[in-house]
Amino acid sequence: MSNIIDGKAVSAQVKERIRLETEKLKEQGIEIGLAVVIVGDDPASKVYVRNKKLACEAVGFTSYEYALPAETTEEELLDLVKKLNNDDKVNGILVQLPVPKHINDKVVIDNILPEKDVDAFHPVNVGKIMIGDYNFLPCTPAGVMELIESTGTDVAGKECVVIGRSNIVGKPQAMLLLHKNGTVTICHSKTKNLKEVCARADILVAAVGRAKMITSEYVKEGAVVIDVGMNRDENGKLCGDVDFEDCKDKAGFITPVPGGVGPMTIAMLMQNTLTAAKAQNGLL
C-alpha cells in the first residue's frame, strides 16, 4: 500500500503559514484584499468562489466579491477590471473562468495588471515562469509542487512525466519540474507508446481530463503519482484521471480525488495574493 498524500493537511499547513505572515503585515498597517469576479451562474464556479471566500477569511484577507449577471458585456467587465486595477485596497484580481461565450477570456486576462494577476495567466507572468524569474505561479501546478515536496522527494535528476499540455496546468507544471532540475517529458494525445513513457516516470502528473485513464500499467513501482483530474465516473462519483484503486499499491505516493490537488489550488491562490501584497508594498 502506497502513502496517500493528504492535500487537505498540506493545504492547511500552507494556509497557517500565510495567516501568520498576514498577521505580521497587519501589525505594519498592511491589509490584504482579493477581488473575485464571477460572470453568470456556472454551478462549479459558484462553489469555487465560495471556497475562495472561506479561504480568505481563514488567512485574514479581505474578500471583495463581484457576482455579475450572464448578460454582462465584455466592455462592462473590462470597466470593472480597470476599476480594480486602480484600487489600492485590492492586491489580487481573479476573474473566474469560464466566462460566458460572448466575452473573450484572453482579452479579460490581458487587461488585469500583471502585478495583480494572482492566477498567473497574464502573458507577462507566463513569460516570467518560462525564464524562471517569477513572483507568481499558476495555482494548481504550484500546489502540485508543494505536494511533491511534502513527500520528501527531491525532484532533481528524477524522470518526470506530465500527461496533458494545457496552458493552465500541463505546460507550467513541466516548467516548474524543470526549474527543480527534473528531466521532464510532456505527453499528449499524439504521444506514441504512452504507457511505456509513463512507466519510466519517478514522478507522474496526470492532467488529461479523462476519468480513470491511468491504470497500474502506466505506473512505475514506487513512483510519486499526482492526479490533477476532476471527473465523474460511470456512477456520477467524483474521480481523477488515475484509477486510484488500481494504482495505489504500486505507487510510492499517490493523491486521492477528491482531497488531493484540489485543496492546494486555493491555498496557492492565497500564497499568490500574499506575495502580490508584499511586492506592492516593497517587501519582496
Are the C-beta atoms of 201 and 220 separated by less than 8 Å?
yes
Q: Catalytic one among 117, 119, 202, 241?
A: 119
Q: Catalytic one among 15, 96, 220, 227?
A: 96
Nearby residues of 118 by Cβ (< 8 Å), 6 or more positions away: 34, 91, 92, 93, 94, 136, 269, 272, 273, 276
Rounded CA gap, 48 and 69, in Å? 17
Rounded CA gap, 67 and 190, in Å? 40
Nearby residues of 273 by Cβ (< 8 Å), 6 or more positions away: 32, 34, 61, 91, 92, 118
154 catalytic, yes or no?
no
250 catalytic, yes or no?
no
52 catalytic, yes or no?
yes
Using DSSP's 3-state secondary structure scheme, residue 125 falls into helix
The continuous run of DSSP H or E covering 51 comes out as helix 43-59
The residues assigned a catalytic role are 52, 96, 119
